[in-house]
Amino acid sequence: MDFGALGLTSTSGFDAGKWLFLSPGLALGMYLLVASPILMRWLLAGPMFFIVGWFAWSLIGVLWSVDTQATFLQMILALTTIVSSYWFTRSFGRTSFARVFCVSAGIVLAIGLANDLVPAIEAILPIEKSQTEFGLETGRSPGLTPGVNQLGMLAGVTAIMGLRLRPQSDLQRVARIGVLGLAGLAMVTAGSRSVAVCTIAALAVQTGLHASTSTRIRGAVGALAGLLVTVGVIGATGAETTFQSGRSFDSLNGRSAVWAHALDLIGEHPLRGVGMMTGQFNWTRAFASGRTSFNAGDAHNMVLEILIGTGTIGLALFMAGAFWAAVRAWRQRDEDALALLLLVGFVGLTEALVSAAGLIYAILGLVLALVATDPIVRPWPTGRGGNPGALLGESSVFEPVRTLA
C-alpha cells in the first residue's frame, strides 16, 4: 500500500517532494507501466480501457491546467499506485491484496486513533488538533493520517477488505476482528455521515447478496439499527463545530453554494475542463472572493469534480468504465465488487474523492471491482510462489484461471 496516497503531504498543503520520493508504489508502478507488455494488455482490456483513457486525458490536461504541477504530479502518483495495485491483485489474487491492504490501512487508522485518544502521543508525534464537521475531535499526524472524509473512506474500504479475508487460524480471526474494530472506531471518529451511511449499505450488500431471505431480513434490520446509531452518534457531537467552521448547519452543510460555483467553473471550459487536481487553486480562490462560506477544497461531488477537471470528454471516459464494471459485477453477482462500487458511487454524491489523496480511494475501489469481475489471468498456476518478474517478458506462459480467491 502506498502511504503517499493516504495523505502524505506537508502541513502547509501539497508537498511535491514527499509525494514523489516517499511513495513506495511510485517507482514500481512506473516500472510496470513502462516495462510490462503483459500488464499493458491487461490495462487495455475490458472496462480498464476507458479508465486508462481517462488517465491519459487527465495528463494531457497539463497543457491547459490552472495548476500544472498539481495536475501532473498527483495524477502520475494516482496512476502508478493503481497500476501497482492492479498488477498485484491480478498476479496474487484478491484475498492476498486484501490482506496487504488491511495491514497497511490498519497502521494508518491506528496512528490516527492514537493521536485522538491517547494524549501522551502528542509528546511523540507532531500533531494537529482539528475538529471535524459533525464528529469527535480528530488528531492528525502530518504526513501520515489522511483528512476527515478520506479517513472515513479509508475505514469503509478497510471494512470491505476485512470481510474479504478468509482467516484460517484463531490468530487470523482475532486479527480480522481487530482490523474491523479499528475501521468502525475510525469511522465514528472521522465524523462523516455520508461515508458512514454508504459503508453500512455496502457491507449489507456484500454480506447479503448470496444469503437466504430470512438472513437478509435480519441483516437489513441490523444494518438499519447500526446506521441510526452511527449517524446519531456522529450528528450529536458536532453542532458547535459546524458553526465554528463558518458553515451553515443544514442538511447539505453549505454544499449548495459549493455546487453552484462548481457549475460556474464547468461552464468556463465544459469540453476539456480546467485541469484535474486543481481543487486547492480553484476553491481557495472561490473562498477568497466570497463565493463560498468555507474553503471547500473540492466540489464535494465526484461527477462535478471530474467535469471541472476533465470536462465532458473526461466524464464520458470515466463513467463508461464505471458503468461497464457495474454491469459485469451485477451479472456475476460479485459481492465484493458491488460493495466497492456502491461505496464509491454513493459517497461520490456528497464528496469528490477524486481530488488529491481522495482519488486513490475512488479509483482503487473501482480497480478492485474491475479485477474482481475480470477473468484472472496469472503467469503461474496458483498465483503464489512464482516469479513476478515473469510479467515483464513476452515469453511467459499463461494459464487462465477463473476464481475469486
DSSP letters for 119-171: GGGGGTS--EEEE-SSS-EEEE-TTTS--HHHHHHHHHHHHHHHHH----SHH
401 membership: H or E segment, kind and range: strand 399-401
Q: Who contacts 21 (Cβ-Cβ below 8 Å, separation ≥6)?
A: none
User: Do 71 and 62 contact (CB within 8 A), yes or no?
Assistant: yes
CA dist list (Å): 359 to 6, 55, 75, 153, 309: 10, 12, 9, 11, 12
- Tell me whether residue 398 is exposed, middle or buried, using C-beta atoms within 10 angstroms of its C-beta: 0 to 12, 13 to 18, 19 or more: exposed
User: How high is the pLDDT of residue 11?
Assistant: 42
Assign residue 196 a region (left: φ > 0; alpha: ψ between -120 and 50; beta: otherwise).
alpha
User: Do 106 and 55 contact (CB within 8 A), yes or no?
Assistant: no
CA dist list (Å): 333 to 24, 25, 401: 34, 31, 18
Q: What is the three-class DSSP state of 10?
A: strand
- Helix (H), strand (E) counts: the chain: 16, 4
Residues 338-348, buried b or exposed e (16+ Cβ, 10 A)?
A: bbbbbbbbbbb
Pairing of strands 137-140, 376-378: unpaired
Residues in the chain predicted with pLDDT less than 70, given as ranges, are 1-26, 112, 114-149, 190-191, 226-253, 357, 375-405
User: Do 158 and 183 contact (CB within 8 A), yes or no?
Assistant: yes
Q: Cell for 31? A: 516500472
CA dist list (Å): 275 to 30, 221, 230, 323, 329: 22, 44, 37, 23, 31
User: How high is the pLDDT of residue 19?
Assistant: 54
pLDDT digits (tens, 9 = 90+) for 277-286: 998 889 888 8
pLDDT digits (tens, 9 = 90+) for 186-206: 887 766 777 888 888 888 888
User: How high is the pLDDT of residue 10?
Assistant: 40
Long-range contacts of 317-322 (CB under 8 A, 24+ apart): 317/50, 317/51, 317/53, 317/54, 317/57, 318/50, 318/51, 318/54, 320/47, 320/50, 321/47, 321/48, 321/49, 321/50, 321/51, 321/53, 321/54, 321/366, 321/370, 322/47, 322/366
Does the model's pTM come out above 0.85? no
Binning the chain into helix, strand and coil, the percentages to the nearest 5 are 65, 5, 30
